[in-house]
Chain A
């Protein structure tokens, strides 16, 4: 039948058109917009972005958050995944509870932590009753950058570790238990078993989780905004401010392009570092 030759293309057409219209076109528009500097020239928006007083701060904060949050949550997720594997009973219930944050939006997660950590929040109430503090203590303002950063990092870890956990758990389930048993029989300690056998075999899952989380972590915003407002500027937050408050869409676009470039670069680094040896591929 002549139609059968076209059928596959016909079937992928809606998805392709959807992507082109709602992803590729806005992407190109954003890039074009970011170079539309008006009188300031081709790189005018980028110059304004780089010259802005919050640029360095937000770049540093974003990188520090990524470098803190992602490794910590990878470790946490691996630990949690391994614990789940050891569980005989109640595994599904625990996994279910641990993945609840998946269903909570970034903003809601931020607000939850705000309620805990703000001046009159649960943490202070608790500490007050313990007698550790003698009145509302501020943790989240511009004069307490360290606790503010920790609060944001904790909220981000709480919110997004579940994604990593799900990927790791799926990856762990793909490793037949005999590999671990073989390692045990041949004398590997639990730590050696983890580093010499489990983690190398988990590499594809780790790679997916790392790429996914890092790219998303570079886009961190809502939780930061909810907890710290603009006291802890991050790149996406600056893009938002330039668009919403300063109503300069071009500089906002420059931020967007910068974030995209950083994300792509991070992905490329991961793909290279965690590349499977070609001869090892089945």
Chain B
């Protein structure tokens, strides 16, 4: 087991910067998810750590070793690919044993470690089969077992669940979490799916345009986003933002006020489930346009002033489109952002 340290890593593709002076620390045994929209550089970062991609500058350390210039095999890591890359011409056993064979381990060790990884991933019964006979989920398990069988210091996973259907993805997610917890491997996990990141990771690094916007626990990423991007990207529905004017150390609107050491226009961010719906006479006037019953809750889309707001209401609430309600905000559950930079104040 080992920590991962990224120091000032940049990657340039021609004139385009894919990664800009990036720093990241993943503690020993920690599970960090790299979350971001496609093109944000998260896969590039993962591949630089793996040694599959060259960096333009910076260093990569695994444990205390500078692995920046080592070939992938000597970095002491394993990887699970988006398309699994399970070798079709080898049996499941040989797939799982692949890394061990390359390390020239003795037959008994190979057998023991393959069986342990197979048990962990519950693919014991399929060891003699060829991958073509397996389902997508089973192949996924083989890919993970292959990675864990070498007992890597670091496990890198590149969108490992994105090729599975929704139900299977949910199932595998829970399973991965318990398997990796048990293995205790330091894991860096690339995904564009925020629920995966939220569900699995100890910490989430949200990436945007080649930089890490915020790295924090899932809860804080969700409730205290450091920028409008993070607030908008994480959470469904995304965070709402209202443009307000702060005056004399106070940020206030209808039915809400909080102290703020900043004068001028700001963005007030709040989650759709963090408001209280009250009578139209109190709080902010919220004109409901669309009501979507989602089962566990109602999703209301409407307007406050000229701005679109999404709010969550209890499933049994009797709300119809066209109604006007009042919104009451909780000062403890809001974030305030700079209108220019989009960063939290």
Contacting residue for B73 out of A187, A197, A203, CB 8 A: A187
Q: Is there a chain A Cβ closer than 8 Å to B98's Cβ?
A: yes
Contacting residue for A176 out of B73, B79, B85, CB 8 A: B85
Q: What are 22 inter-chain pairs, A to B, with CB distance below 8 A?
A: A181-B50, A181-B52, A181-B85, A182-B81, A182-B87, A182-B98, A183-B98, A183-B102, A185-B50, A185-B77, A186-B73, A186-B78, A186-B102, A187-B103, A192-B102, A197-B87, A201-B87, A201-B88, A279-B129, A279-B130, A279-B132, A282-B88
Binary contact readout A189-221 vs B (1 if CB under 8 angstroms, 0 otherwise):
000100001001101000000000000000000
CB distance from A44 to the nearest CB of B (A): 50
Q: How large is the interface on B (under 10, 10 to 19, 20 to 34, 35 or more residues)?
A: 20 to 34
A280 near B150 with CB under 8 A, answer no
A277 near B99 with CB under 8 A, answer no
Q: Is there a chain A Cβ closer than 8 Å to B146's Cβ?
A: yes
Q: Is there a chain B Cβ closer than 8 Å to A179's Cβ?
A: yes
Binding site for A on B (CB under 8 A): 50-52, 71-73, 77-79, 81-83, 85, 87-89, 98-99, 102-103, 129-130, 132-133, 146, 150
Most central of B77, B81, B129, B133 by chain A CB within 10 Å: B81
Residues of chain A within 8 A of B146, CB atoms compared = 186
B102 near A178 with CB under 8 A, answer no
Closest to A193 in B: B102
B150 near A186 with CB under 8 A, answer yes
Cα distance A200–B129 in the bound complex, in angstroms: 17
Binding site for B on A (CB under 8 A): 176, 178-179, 181-188, 192, 197, 200-201, 203, 277, 279-282
Closest to A180 in B: B85
Closest to A199 in B: B89
Add 12 more A-B contacts to A178-B82, A201-B88 (CB < 8 A): A178-B81, A184-B52, A185-B73, A186-B102, A187-B73, A188-B102, A277-B130, A279-B129, A280-B88, A280-B89, A280-B132, A281-B132
CB distance from B71 to the nearest CB of A (A): 7
Closest to B103 in A: A187
A282 near B132 with CB under 8 A, answer yes
Closest to A279 in B: B130
Q: A185-B77, A197-B87 in contact; A280/B130 too (CB < 8 A)? A: yes
Residues of chain B within 8 A of A192, CB atoms compared = 102
Q: A181-B81, A185-B78 in contact; A203/B102 too (CB < 8 A)? A: no
Q: Specify the main secondary structure of chain A where it touches its partner.
A: helix
Q: A185-B78, A187-B103, A188-B73 in contact; A203/B89 too (CB < 8 A)? A: yes
Residues of chain A within 8 A of B88, CB atoms compared = 201, 280, 282
Q: A187-B102, A279-B130, A282-B132 in contact; A182/B85 too (CB < 8 A)? A: yes
Cα distance A192–B89 in the bound complex, in angstroms: 15
Closest to B132 in A: A282
CB distance from A93 to the nearest CB of B (A): 20
Residues of chain B within 8 A of A200, CB atoms compared = 87, 89
Cα distance A184–B44 in the bound complex, in angstroms: 17
B129 near A179 with CB under 8 A, answer no
Residues of chain B within 8 A of A282, CB atoms compared = 88, 132
B73 near A184 with CB under 8 A, answer yes
Residues of chain A within 8 A of B50, CB atoms compared = 181, 185
Residues of chain B within 8 A of A281, CB atoms compared = 132
B87 near A179 with CB under 8 A, answer yes
Contacting residue for A185 out of B72, B89, B103, CB 8 A: B72
Cα distance A192–B101 in the bound complex, in angstroms: 11
Residues of chain A within 8 A of B77, CB atoms compared = 185
Contacting residue for A178 out of B85, B99, B150, CB 8 A: B85
CB distance from B238 to the nearest CB of A (A): 32
Cα distance A183–B50 in the bound complex, in angstroms: 12
Nearest 6 A/B pairs, CB to CB: A187-B102, A186-B99, A178-B85, A187-B73, A182-B85, A200-B89
CB distance from B69 to the nearest CB of A (A): 15
CB distance from B170 to the nearest CB of A (A): 25
CB distance from B275 to the nearest CB of A (A): 45
Residues of chain B within 8 A of A197, CB atoms compared = 87
CB distance from B81 to the nearest CB of A (A): 4
Residues of chain A within 8 A of B72, CB atoms compared = 181, 184-185
Cα distance A186–B73 in the bound complex, in angstroms: 6
B83 near A178 with CB under 8 A, answer yes
Residues of chain B within 8 A of A188, CB atoms compared = 73, 102
Contacting residue for A179 out of B51, B85, B133, CB 8 A: B85
Most central of A181, A184, A186, A281 by chain B CB within 10 Å: A186
Cα distance A277–B150 in the bound complex, in angstroms: 27
Residues of chain A within 8 A of B82, CB atoms compared = 178
Cα distance A197–B146 in the bound complex, in angstroms: 15
Residues of chain A within 8 A of B133, CB atoms compared = 279
CB distance from B84 to the nearest CB of A (A): 8
Most central of B82, B83, B85 by chain A CB within 10 Å: B85
Residues of chain B within 8 A of A178, CB atoms compared = 81-83, 85
CB distance from A189 to the nearest CB of B (A): 8
Cα distance A181–B77 in the bound complex, in angstroms: 13
Residues of chain B within 8 A of A277, CB atoms compared = 130
Residues of chain B within 8 A of A176, CB atoms compared = 83, 85
Residues of chain A within 8 A of B132, CB atoms compared = 279-282
Cα distance A282–B89 in the bound complex, in angstroms: 11
CB distance from A95 to the nearest CB of B (A): 23
Closest to B89 in A: A200
Cα distance A233–B77 in the bound complex, in angstroms: 59
Residues of chain A within 8 A of B81, CB atoms compared = 178, 181-182
Cα distance A148–B79 in the bound complex, in angstroms: 53
Residues of chain B within 8 A of A186, CB atoms compared = 73, 78, 98-99, 102, 146, 150
